[in-house]
Amino acid sequence: MRKKISAYWLSQIGGWLFYGLTMLFFLFVFEQKITSLFYTRIIVSILLGIIFTHILRKIILVFQLKPSENKSRWVLLVFFVIIICLVYSFTDSAIVEWFKLYDPERKISFQKRAFFNLANDTPIIIIWVSIYIVWHYVESARQQEIDKVKLESLVKELELKTIKSHINPHFIFNALNSIRALVDENPERARTAITELSNLLRSSMQTEKLEFTSLEKELDIVKDYLALEYIRFEDRLQVEYDIDEDTLDQIIPPMMLQTLVENAIKHGISKQVNGGVIRIISVFKGDHHELIVQNSGKLQTTINSEGFGITSTQNRLKILYAGKATFALKEITETIVEAKVILPITID
């Protein structure tokens, strides 16, 4: 608040001093005789201008007369501007008269002086009001833009938190179902699965605090997840990796690759009697980073069961990359479904 007041007074004093210097400039240009009385009258005009325009500003603030679509506010503003102009001119003329700040040989009546002052001072007051209104509009538009950016940022942050809050429970429930299937038939493997789940939960809790993580760290989570799922699927699950080592430092949204792999198992491998293959590919193509998950299965099955995995991936990419990243799910052969994420390359 203090900074705004300082800016206002700097503009107020500077503007009226500029007005006084402008009057002196034109007098010099037109070679008018300047006396000490004239300097005094300029100082009086500047001081009165500062006082009365400040009063006008207070009136605008108190009566909330900043122009809007409400016509009555415009009318009231014009009314107060007229009043200020009249009082300003009358006061200026009265001071000149009382302190005899005029050339006795060229004395005019108080009424004429007041009229001339009104004619000369009114445009200055109108200019002041115009500048004040324009400044208000610019400041208001700037503040609205700042508020808009803050609101958009807040909405994105809330959306991301909402998406993240769904990812981990969604994964946990699937993992627990895998463990439950092993409890009776193979307790030893169930204990191993619990250990794997513990590692995964620890990793996911660490990445939950981040908006991005490296592909290398994400792959560690995926490998733990697949090790857990392998206990359930055994030989029905085959995993292949085609990872360009140069892509390991690339940043991606945490748990996104794990979500795609989970979706591939749930809607692809688990639907196949003989299981199938999960192939994870990470390569550079042109000026983009392509992250691909291929799985055995049919696209029709995946579409009918689309659910949270695909939706969350699309939403996160939209929020985090603002249209610079894309996601596509398609059937590249009759038996292979591919989920491809194309991300901008990050350079350290």
289-313 confidence digits (pLDDT tens) = 999 999 999 886 544 445 566 777 8
Packed helices 110-183 and 71-98: angle between N→C axes, nearest 10 degrees: 140
Is the model's pLDDT at 103 over the cut of 80? no
Is the model's pLDDT at 236 over the cut of 80? yes
Instruction: Grade residue 69 by pLDDT with cuts at 50, 70 and 90.
Output: low
4 residue type, one letter: K
Average pLDDT over every residue of 42-49: 93
**Rounded CA separation 261/257 (Å):** 6
Top pLDDT among 157 and 297 is at: 297
- The confidence score (pLDDT) of residue 163 equals 57
- The confidence score (pLDDT) of residue 101 equals 83
Domain ranges of the chain: 2-149, 186-344
Closest CA to 74 of 129, 155, 9: 129
Q: Cα angle at 135 between 130 and 138, to 5 degrees?
A: 125
Q: What is the pLDDT of residues 263-285, one digit of tens each?
A: 898 888 988 888 899 999 999 99
Q: What is the pLDDT of residues 82-93, one digit of tens each?
A: 999 999 999 999
**Rounded CA separation 43/331 (Å):** 84
Q: What are phi and psi of 164, to 5 degrees?
A: -60, -40
Most confident range (mean pLDDT) of 48-52, 64-68, 183-187 is 48-52
- The confidence score (pLDDT) of residue 329 equals 93
Average pLDDT over every residue of 123-143: 88
**CATH architecture designation of domain 186-344:** 2-Layer Sandwich (3.30)
- The confidence score (pLDDT) of residue 56 equals 92
Is the model's pLDDT at 333 over the cut of 70? yes
Is the model's pLDDT at 181 over the cut of 70? yes
Please report, rounded to a whole number, the percentage of residues in the chain having pLDDT higher than 70: 85
Contacts 24+ apart (CB under 8 A), 199-206: 199/224, 200/171, 200/175, 200/224, 200/225, 200/228, 201/172, 204/168, 204/171, 204/254, 204/255
- The confidence score (pLDDT) of residue 284 equals 96
Instruction: Grade residue 161 by pLDDT with cuts at 50, 70 and 90.
Output: low
In whole angstroms, how far apart are CA 57 and each of 45, 201, 344? 18, 61, 52
Host H or E run for residue 213: strand 213-214
**Rounded CA separation 31/29 (Å):** 5
Top pLDDT among 48 and 28 is at: 48
73 residue type, one letter: R
In whole angstroms, how far apart are CA 221 and each of 217, 258, 259, 262, 346? 7, 7, 11, 12, 21
Q: What is the mean pLDDT of the chain?
A: 84
Top pLDDT among 343 and 323 is at: 343
Q: What is the pLDDT of residues 199-220, one digit of tens each?
A: 777 776 766 667 789 999 999 8
Is the model's pLDDT at 142 over the cut of 90? no
Q: Spell 179-212 as b/e; 16+ CB within 10 A means b.
A: beebeeeeeebbebbbebbebbeebbeebeeeee
Q: What's the half-sphere exposure (Cβ side, CA atoms, 13 Å) at 272?
A: 23
140 residue type, one letter: S
- The confidence score (pLDDT) of residue 44 equals 93
- The confidence score (pLDDT) of residue 176 equals 82
Q: Who's near 90: CB < 8 A, 6+ residues apart?
A: 114
pTM, full prediction = 0.55
Average pLDDT over every residue of 159-164: 60
Please report, rounded to a whole number, the percentage of residues in the chain having pLDDT higher than 90: 36
- The answer to whether the beta carbons of residues 343 and 289 sit under 8 Å apart is yes
Is the model's pLDDT at 36 over the cut of 70? yes
21 residue type, one letter: L
Where does residue 245 rank: exposed (0-12), middle (13-18), buried (19+ CB within 10 A)?
exposed
Average pLDDT over every residue of 149-176: 64
